[in-house]
Amino acid sequence: MVQKFNALDKTTFISFDYEVLKEILRLAPGAVTQYLNGDKTPEQLKAAGIRGADYHYSVFQRHPQWIRQARQNNIMLNAWTVNDTATIDWLLANRFDAITTNEPALVAKRAARHKEIFGNRKLVFAEEFNQAGSPDRNLWAYDTGSHGWGNHELENYTNGDTANVFIKNGLLHIRALKDNGQPKGYSSVRMVQKKGFLYGRVDVRAKLPAGRGLWPAIWLLPDVFKYGGWPASGEIDLMENVGYNPDSVFFTIHTEKYNHVKHTQKSMGIYSHSLYSRFHTYSLEWSPD
């Protein structure tokens, strides 16, 4: 019927059945097809001639590398069914071609906001940790010492000791270790990105370590303390987790007026049962307002 009415170029065929899509392509070469079931990689779809990955958004969150593969193989990306702001923003940030939703007004509002902030964006820094060994010293430095950093921490921070930080199989590993050679019996690292930025978006993908007493964090401090020492020049905590509270992750802003010393910090926590078992993407959108 689609061919009869000359509508092939206006039609997208979607199915949970992989074999059905292959049969459609046999009957109508060049038809636009998208697969729904979420168990095929973009590379597999490309090989079969299927044009799109139309998966539940959780599939892409479990397999974020498929987003990059889809771009490389010219596979369209659609996610369903997305009705919450956080997931909509995540899909927009990852430049999905379509979002299936019951809340079109919300998607339109978030898309307009995203375009206003990031319409002219360009990538200024990316680190995928694909080179095995130690992190690139041209990109990363280390805060060192065992003075507790004002937080009564027990670990001594090493200058990139390979026992504490290394890259393997495309992943950066940061480890806190029992270390009798250190003053208080522990060692770890504080990695510092050398390239700073003002405004834009940063995404950090991480799986957190489990254990009482651990305090993994991703946070931003100024390159120059223009307005004075902490907290006058500010701090943005993109992600903090404490081991005695294993099901929550926190996001916090510190300033002279709002900080934890005064118990006035601006903070928010969210619940997740998979902080230690899955990778999550922690994102910051920073604009002048």
What is the DSSP code (8-state) at residue 14? E
The answer to whether residue 199 scores a pLDDT higher than 80 is yes
Q: Tokens 């959108």 map to which residue? A: 285
The answer to whether residue 158 scores a pLDDT higher than 90 is yes
Strands 248-254 and 235-240: antiparallel
Q: What is the pLDDT of residue 26?
A: 96
Residue type, 144: T
Sheet holding 12-15, edge to edge: 12-15, 32-35, 52-56, 76-80, 98-99
Residue type, 237: D
Q: What is the pLDDT of residue 84?
A: 92
Which structure tokens are listed for 248?
């929550």
Cis-peptide, bond into residue 216, ω within 30° of zero: no
Q: Environment class of residue 21 by beta-carbon count within 10 Å: exposed (0-12), middle (13-18) or buried (19+)?
A: buried
Catalytic residues: 235, 240
Query: What are the phi and psi torsion angles at 145 (to 5°)?
Result: 125, 170
The answer to whether residue 161 scores a pLDDT higher than 90 is yes
Cα–Cα distance, 153 to 128 (Å, whole number): 29
| Angle made by CA atoms 191, 144, 254, in degrees to the nearest 5 | 65
**Which tens digit of pLDDT belongs to each residue from 163-187?**
999 999 889 999 999 999 999 999 9
Q: What is the pLDDT of residue 113?
A: 86
Could you tell me how far CA 144 lies from the centroid of its own chain?
27
Query: What are the phi and psi torsion angles at 217 (to 5°)?
Result: -155, 150
pTM confidence score:
0.66
Q: Tokens 């990778």 map to which residue? A: 279
Mean predicted lDDT score pLDDT of the chain:
92
**Which tens digit of pLDDT belongs to each residue from 114-140?**
888 777 777 888 898 989 999 999 999
**Which tens digit of pLDDT belongs to each residue from 15-69?**
999 999 999 999 999 999 999 999 999 999 999 999 999 999 999 988 988 999 9
**Which tens digit of pLDDT belongs to each residue from 81-107?**
999 998 998 899 889 999 999 999 999
The answer to whether residue 147 scores a pLDDT higher than 70 is no
Question: How would residue 286 be classed by pLDDT, with cut points 50, 70 and 90?
Answer: confident
Strands 248-254 and 266-271: antiparallel
Q: What is the pLDDT of residue 122?
A: 78
Q: What is the pLDDT of residue 145?
A: 78
The answer to whether residue 235 scores a pLDDT higher than 80 is yes
Measure the CA dihedral 30/31/36/42, to 10°. Answer: 10
Residue scoring higher pLDDT (128 or 70): 70
Helix 85-93 / helix 104-118 crossing angle, nearest 10 deg: 40
Taking phi over 0 as left and psi of -120 to 50 as alpha, with beta for the rest, 170 belongs to left
